[in-house]
Amino acid sequence: CEGAKIESIAETDTTASRMGDRVMVGSACNGVNATVPGIPGPLGVSQKLAPGAVRFEWGDGLVGALGGRYRLCWCASSLLDDTPRACGDPADFLVDAGEIVVSGPMGGQSWFC
């Protein structure tokens, strides 16, 4: 069996996202117990948006999360006064930027390969 990869999502050419911003795949964008086990990256957080990039990337890790609907939670790389932010803690991702659907086994199912 092979898992799926999050290749790239969240096109940013028409949004306010800028270099260094990140998104997190979460169960909610409330900063509390929002992480989803099995999403690549530390705590399901994307890599920093690269200069000139229009998509967020999660690298080469495979998705091992249960199938379901999850939220894309956004974090700006700096505050309004340009103070940098690390965007490394779920509490930093409070802006709901959309939904991602993971297709695959739901809880209670067994799959053999």
pLDDT of residue 12: 47
Q: Which amino acid is at 103?
A: S
In the chain, the percentage of residues whose pLDDT exceeds 90 is 28
- β pairing state of 4-5 and 68-75: unpaired
Residue 28's pLDDT band (boundaries 50, 70, 90)?
very high
pLDDT of residue 111: 60
Say how far apart CA 103 and CA 113 lie, in whole Å.
17
Q: Are 110 and 66 in contact (CB under 8 A)?
A: no
Q: What is the mean pLDDT of the segment spanning 14-18?
A: 67
Q: What is the pLDDT of residues 34-74, one digit of tens each?
A: 889 989 888 999 999 888 887 888 888 888 888 888 999 99
Q: How far is CA 70 from CA 34, 47, 53, 56, 98, in A?
A: 10, 18, 23, 16, 9
Say how far apart CA 32 and CA 102 lie, in whole Å.
21
Q: What is the mean pLDDT of the segment spanning 105-111?
A: 59
